[in-house]
Structure 1
Amino acid sequence: MAGKIRHLINRSGRYHARLVVPKDLRGIVGKTELRSALGADYRQALKLLPGAVAQLQHQIALAEREASQGRQKPAQARYPLAPDQIALSHYNQRLVFDDLLRNDSRYANTGIDDLYVYQLRQAVAGRCSDDELQSVIGDQLERFRAAGNISAAQGSDEWRVIARALCSAELEALARVAERDEGDYTGTPTAPIIKDAAQAEKAPAPVSLTGLWTDYLNSRMQAGFMRDKGQRQRPVIDNLRKFLRHNDAARVTKKDVLAWRDHLVKTLSPKTVNDIYLSALKSVIAWAVENDRLPENVAATVRQPKPRKVYGRERGYTDDEAKKVLKASRTYQSTPDEFGRVRESTQMANVKRWVPIICAFTGARVSEIIQLRKEDVTKVGEHWVARITPDAGTVKSGGYRDVPLHAQIVAEGFVKFIEHADEGPLFHNATKPEKFRGAAVIVSNKLSDWLRKGGLVPDGIQPNHAWRHRLKTQCRELGISDRVADAIQGHAGRTAADHYGDVTIKTKADAIARLPDYNIKM
């Protein structure tokens, strides 16, 4: 994929030389970048580019000198160029300058100094002393030094190599000048240091960050994942793009990711930053690397340390706490406002009535239960079964699972509720599948708020997630294997052996039937 010429940009059909101002010098320069107009013609812009960049680099170098006053000068050039690159740059700038001067007829009638040509040839041959080299080409050397392209000390071998390279470039430029004096503009350089010089460096082709995300999402959805169309991860990519203030994934560095992480942790919990934001970015870039879109995963080793949680009690409901919640759920009725109107939706009232008891006997994630549709609850043989499926929203494990309903749920009238319910979602009012997950999250949060405000949940307990911890504890107390409990709750297997054989509906129904009824009748 072809790259762009370094430092050359096109804005509204016109070309500019562009140089980013280093962060430590922006206070002095007063800008984040410098530009120089090169016109609308691409070929002319390429001719003018080296000189324009040199001028911009000179401005940066002056700012660097100002910043370093009273301190030791930096040992390395800020914008180092190899000798052949310096020679090529000088050659191109010399010819551009020649073009400009020919607008004045007096210049065109001026001959070339033969003594100067002789001195240049002596220098190229290596016959000149350091002082003679400085006299012949010293002004040009200092020009490149001021632009931050060289740092070699006068008299050093590196300095002499650069000086001789510049003398070769000057000789080649004078040869073109002589040809132009005769009206011949077809000449090309013959000196190897000019002819074989490294061409203008090409920057990596930009890679759209949002484009990467779209392609990654499509590939995951084709594989059967992310049925919610990446609603949870999309804000991550948008947040990164806004933080970077550009959309080029090829420009993202590890330093950028670290700075983004430190910015996020100011407003988000370490767990959210690490497990959602950094995790999503790593996945997208890893996919890009695997598909030859990016050379490396700059986020691979970036992590956000998370403080170890300290629990002051068990994480699931106790028997008394579970009964308290289920009693409040069983007797719940919507309360009219001061005008006698019931503002709560019927679906929200149904959530408070049925979701807690279903979670109590299935240990399912509350969002999975809230996503249930009428068609997901059916009778299989002698068992009523709730199918938790990605077709109804998001399922963390990715696939469907059938969970038999405990006899107490049926006895409470849930089956009758299903029979009289309208088609579609039972506990939220979204009509489009892509909005099911978002709706389930909203309803789930409302359920948690109701439980907390009602004083039904003690401190240190997650109102909805506590049912998952409780069911796992109950299964262990009853001798139900973790393999069966995992199949009921939708937990991934721990070993390869867990993926062999099926945990049938009968096996799950037998296990659930062993769970004792809750004494919740008033």
Structure 2
Amino acid sequence: MAKLPERLMARSGTFYCRIWVPTDIAPIYGRQIVVRSLRTKDLKTAKSRLARKSVELENQFDEIRADQIAGDNLGVAALDISTIRARFRDIAREHAIAASDHEFSRRAALFCQATAAPARFWRGEFGPLPVPADFGHDEEDAYTYFDHLVAEGDLEKVIAFVTRFRLRKRIETLQSMRATGNLGEFVAIADKRVAGISRSDAIALGRLLLEDELTALRAIAEGQPDPSLGDLRAGNFRQTENPEAPSLGSSLPPAPTAKPISLDELFERWEAETDPSASTLSSWRGITRDLKSFVGDKADDITRIAAEDIVGWKDKLVKANKAAATISRGYLGCARALFRFAVANRLAASDPSQGIKVTRKMKAGKKMLGYSGEEVARLLNLASNASDPWKKWLPWLAAATGSRIGEVAQLHGSHVFEEEGYQVVKIMPASDAGSLKNAESERTVPIHPALLTAGFLAFVAEKGQGPLFYGRSSGDPKRKHASKGVANRLASWIRANGFSDPRKAPNHALRHWFKTEASRVGIPDSVADAIQGHTDSSSSGVYRHIGLALMASSLDKIELPPRRGAS
């Protein structure tokens, strides 16, 4: 059986929740470990029940601790000041243990909520999800990795990332409070714990509370043992019965002792477990081949690949004039994903790509641009006179919805229907193993009046319920979808007809134009984002839901074809 999550154990095929009782309440609870049956032999069900059982037990612990604190506070008046101060260290340690317990309780609650209601999790109802603004310039790789997890739709990995991200934000807040002397939160805790405490003593205790909570949370972030298992300050943590076993919760795997694993084998294992999209699989295979070519025979044993090799590979790509974003998000993003997978699965002791990034900034004159209104009008006129359906309708669909060509190229007739009195197009993965970029890409958009006038519905009725712009696809998610070929042919056709500006991607420049035109005619960014399937990065975006009526009235403002010279 694969390694089980923390606090989950199995006996005779049945799963159990196994939790250490916090040391501050263990004498009252009467035991050091609690084991509760989850009454299932199914691992997926056990994980869900584990989260609920963990929350239930943590709540019991909190109630016992609250009763104990209340009892302690009743007797404070009888204590002299030296006795009170002697307890500061114990109070701070108890607070750190409670902070540690709360962190794991919060994780369990989030996992339970997110797995029970994924749609609400994606909308941010269980707490805001990370957005680009949450990351500094030196953390672009972290957000790129998160964006990749979201695109792949791996819920458990996204939950794990969000959990680590929220813990990191709390640690940063504590560090800032320590640096500025902002102890208000902890002085308030000190006042509650020790009735009648003087201002100077409350500040002294508050400082200890902050320091011990920061130490406890850092230990969790770094994968060290749960401080509730032993003395936080002394590091006297309980070990498992096997003295050579790694500490509970350790994230540092031992050096691999099995036979060497090659880059090809690593890629195959990563592919089998993560089930990436066909486009990711195709591009990352090429990137892996490029890395193999650079490192030579080291590719036969991934543990021989060092950070210096990754730096040299990155430098080679820079010299080849690869775009910084392509190197960072594509090449280094692939390497990081593979080596992190190797570390997590005990195939390697470290990630040689960690911390390596491209610092080159984009030069003026290199940024990609959108079409002008005149260019869009010329392209739509060219499309209207084309005989092939993909040449005729795809540019119109992209201009009318701001969609990626790959999204509309995989449309089926069944994706076009009436809803709430509007003729709409449902942008979703094609049933024959199509895919979209991320969760926000799936959406329902009203059909622009210009498309209705041009006869788009009659075309759809003639084609039937199946694919509109390709014959058939293999249905194999590991292979490129047939719509990808259509999108590539369209780009070549547009280039061949005079749209040759290298800074204007033949297909994607329509998406840029739509965003610009929407702003010009006064469509709010939130509405344009909903139409285009862009992520709304504002903190309120997770609560905002744009209806068809608002989308339709906004699309009416966009003139198609645009007047010559417009926008």
Question: How many Å apart are 1:510 and its aligned residue?
Answer: 2.6
1:375 positional shift: 1.9
Shift in Å at residue 420 of structure 1? 0.8
Q: CA deviation at 1:520?
A: 8.6
Paired residues of 2:405 and 2:507 also in contact (CA < 8 A) = yes
- 2:236 is aligned to none
Alpha-carbon offset, residue 276 of structure 1 = 1.2
1:293-332 to 2 correspondence within 5 Å? 293-311=347-365, 315-332=369-386
Instruction: Work out which of the residue numbers 224, 231, 235 in structure 1 matches 2:282.
Output: 231
Q: CA deviation at 1:317?
A: 1.9
Take 2:379 and 2:500, find their aligned partners in 1: how far apart are those partners?
8
Shift of the 234–398 alpha-carbon distance from structure 1 to 2, 3 Å rule, reads farther
Q: 2:423 is matched by which residue type in structure 1? A: W
* Residues 247-326 of structure 1: pairs in structure 2 closer than 5 A: 247-265=300-318, 269-271=322-324, 272-311=326-365, 315-326=369-380
Larger radius of gyration: 1
Task: Give runs of aligned pairs for residues 402-441 of structure 1, distance below 5 A.
Answer: 402-434=444-476, 437-441=480-484
Which residue of the partner structure matches residue 507 of structure 1? 550
Counterparts of residues 27-426 of structure 1 (less than 5 Å): 205-221=259-275, 226=277, 230-243=281-294, 244-245=296-297, 246-265=299-318, 269-271=322-324, 272-311=326-365, 315-333=369-387, 349-391=388-430, 393-398=434-439, 400-426=442-468
- Structure 1 CA distance for aligned equivalents of residues 272 and 453 of structure 2: 44
* Residue type at the aligned position of 1:226: S
Asked if 2 retains the 8 angstrom alpha-carbon contact of 1:220 and 1:226, the reply is no
| Pair 258,429 (structure 1): closer, same or farther in 2 beyond 3 Å | farther
| Amino acid in the other structure paired with 2:288 | I
Letter in 1 for 2:265: G
Count matched residues: 303
C-alpha distance in structure 1 between counterparts of 2:428 and 2:278, whole Å? 11
Question: Does 2:525 correspond to 1:489?
Answer: no
- So what's the TM-score if we normalise by structure 2? 0.48
Give the whole-Å Cα distance in 1 for the aligned partners of 2:562 and 2:537: 35
Q: Secondary structure at the match of 1:496?
A: coil
Alignment RMSD (CA, Å): 3.0
Check 1:306–1:426 CA distance in 2 against 1; reply closer, same or farther (3 A cut). Answer: farther
Deviation at 1:408, TM superposition (A): 0.8
* Kept in 2: contact 1:217–1:229 (CA 8 A): no
| Partner Cα separation in structure 1 for residue 348 and residue 536 of structure 2 | 33
* Shift, 1:227, TM fit: 5.9
> Closer, same or farther in 2 for the Cα pair 1:267/1:328, shift >3 Å?
same
* Deviation (angstroms), 1:494: 1.2
Contact 2:256 2:349 in 1 (8 A): no
User: Matched residues in 2 for 1:260 and 1:446: separation?
Assistant: 32
Partner of 1:517: 560
The secondary structure found in structure 1 opposite 2:417 is strand
Q: Offset at 1:412?
A: 0.5
What is the one-letter code of the residue matched to 2:422? H
Instruction: Verify: 1:448 aligned to 2:491, yes or no.
Output: yes
Could you list the per-position Cα deviations for residues 395-425 of structure 1 after superposition, in whole angstroms to 9, with x for gaps in the alignment?
A: 1124521122101111111111111115432
Q: Is the 8 A contact 2:278 2:481 kept in 1?
A: no
User: Structure 1 residue 390: deviation in Å?
Assistant: 2.8
Give 1:474 deviation, angstroms.
Answer: 1.7
Residues 1:505 and 1:433: Cα distance change in structure 2 (over 3 Å): farther
Q: Do the aligned residues in 2 keep the contact of 1:229 with 1:434 (CA within 8 Å)?
A: no
The corresponding residue for 1:57 is none
Stretches of structure 2 that go unaligned for 5 or more consecutive residues are 1-254
Any unmatched runs of 5+ in structure 1? Answer: 1-200, 334-348
Could you tell me how far 1:331 is from its partner in structure 2?
1.2
Q: Which residue type is aligned with residue 239 of structure 1?
A: D
Q: Secondary structure in 2 aligned to 1:386? A: strand
Q: Is the 8 A contact 1:326 1:520 kept in 2?
A: no
CA distance 1:401–1:288, shift in 2 (3 Å): farther
Amino acid at match of 1:281: A
Please state whether the residue corresponding to 2:522 is helix, strand or coil. coil
Report the more deviating stretch, 276-285 or 451-460: 451-460
> What is the DSSP-based 3-state SS (H/G/I as helix, E as strand, rest coil) of the residue aligned with 2:491?
helix
1:312 deviation in Å? 8.4
- The TM-score normalised by the length of structure 1 is 0.52
Fraction of identical pairs, as percent: 27
1:321–1:457 Cα contact (<8 Å) kept: no
Q: Distance in 1 between matches of 2:274 and 2:542?
A: 22
Q: What is aligned with 2:201?
A: none
